[in-house]
Structure 1
């Protein structure tokens, strides 16, 4: 049980994503009970993000699945919720576009080298995720005063900036992994 709990928490986060998306779609910007439930699930999912990594490291059960699935679960949660907020709350679309391009690029890059090396989340990637989750949590608070939305917006802008910087860093790391793989392959032949 100990070894599988962090991975189970990651799976729970993945399952929460479509539920939150449906709740936000049903609420359609009315800020009613469905929005409250979406907020609760996002906060719960954010807590599992921290907890699964903490437990995996503490119990020394870090797995290749966890290193790959954990960031995918984070991306699915953030992008799914942010896409809904762009539609139902008229949040500007450009941070979503930046995050989407970055996340697709990093994920495809990680998958391209996954047979040789697992590229775990970087410290900057974790900061980006924390900023995103804070922003989304603030945006989701039903009936929040305007200043809360303003803080949420600037935190989202900061997350987009960190996403660009860390995306470039991941691209360098992935390119180095590809070069190392080619060099090792050439040395064998």
Structure 2
């Protein structure tokens, strides 16, 4: 009997790698960020700047861990699960925190979080049929969303206040449009898988 492990040319990737370490760091930064943002109900300028810095650092790890994992072959099952959890935890805590301190309307937080959680659930439901890759619209959504949130965290007004308002509007629009696109692609994937099974079934 042939040992499958010996015939598999792919090397085993340890979960103890730099990409996963950055993902874990991003998760660990979430409570630090929330603590800084909520100080004095969001009115403490120095703490808001600290929160903005922590958020920026966490967002930077999001891009870096993905780049490192793909470039150096460090993709692991742990990373596939932990990375989206870290993303949702960071963005979700930022949106909720901003709404709690009355810097962002609650309806904005509800719209974005409903989309994010809904798509996450849908991804698990259709994963047996295949993986739907991130679209350009999805990547644009993430970038605009993160930038808008970061500007809302910073204790500044004037022109920046106007820019962040428009950016958040664009983020909401992209959130809804890309969410609908993902639902449509998931439906096509499920239909294609059902058709393939029907074709493969023996004729009675």
Q: Provide TM-score, normalisation by structure 1.
A: 0.86
Confirm or deny: 8 A CA contact 1:67 1:120 kept in the other structure. no
Tell me the matched-pair count.
188
Q: C-alpha deviations, 1:148-189, integer Å up to 9, x for none?
A: 122111111101111111111111222223223333444357
Instruction: Give the distance between the partners of 1:116 and 1:12, measured in 2 at CA.
Output: 32
Q: Deviations over 1:54-112 (max 9, x none)?
A: 11222133345444543332222112111111121342222212211211111001111
Secondary structure of residue in 1 paired with 2:38: helix
Matches within 5 A, 1:8-47: 8-47=21-60
Matched, 1:177 2:189: yes
SS at match of 2:27: helix
In structure 2, relative to structure 1, the CA distance for the partners of 1:120 and 1:110 (3 Å cut) is same
Structure 1: how far apart are the matches of 2:152 and 2:75? Answer: 32
The equivalent residue for 1:127 is: 140
Which piece of structure 1 moves more, 39-48 or 67-76?
67-76
Give the aligned partner of residue 84 of structure 1: 97
Residues 30-179 of structure 1 aligned to structure 2 (within 5 Å): 30-142=43-155, 144-179=156-191
Q: Out of 175-184 and 80-89, give the one that drifted further.
A: 175-184
Contact persistence 2:37–2:153 (CA under 8 A): no
Unaligned runs of 5+ in 1: none
Task: Tell me if structure 2 keeps the 8 A contact 1:24–1:38.
Answer: yes
Question: Displacement of 1:15 after TM fit?
Answer: 2.3
Gapped runs of 5+ residues in structure 2? 1-13
Change (3 A) 1:59 1:27: farther
Which SS does the other structure have where 1:154 is aligned?
A: helix
Structure 2 vs 1, CA of residues 120 and 4 (structure 1 numbering), >3 Å: closer, same or farther?
farther
Relative to structure 1, the CA distance from residue 9 to residue 120 in structure 2 (aligned partners, 3 Å threshold; closer, same or farther) is farther
Q: Contact 1:95/1:157 (CA < 8 Å) preserved in 2?
A: no
Tell me, in whole angstroms, the C-alpha distance in 2 between the residues paired with 1:177 and 1:28.
Answer: 45
Aligned partners of 2:157, 2:167: CA distance in 1, in Å? 16
Change (3 A) 1:78 1:22: same
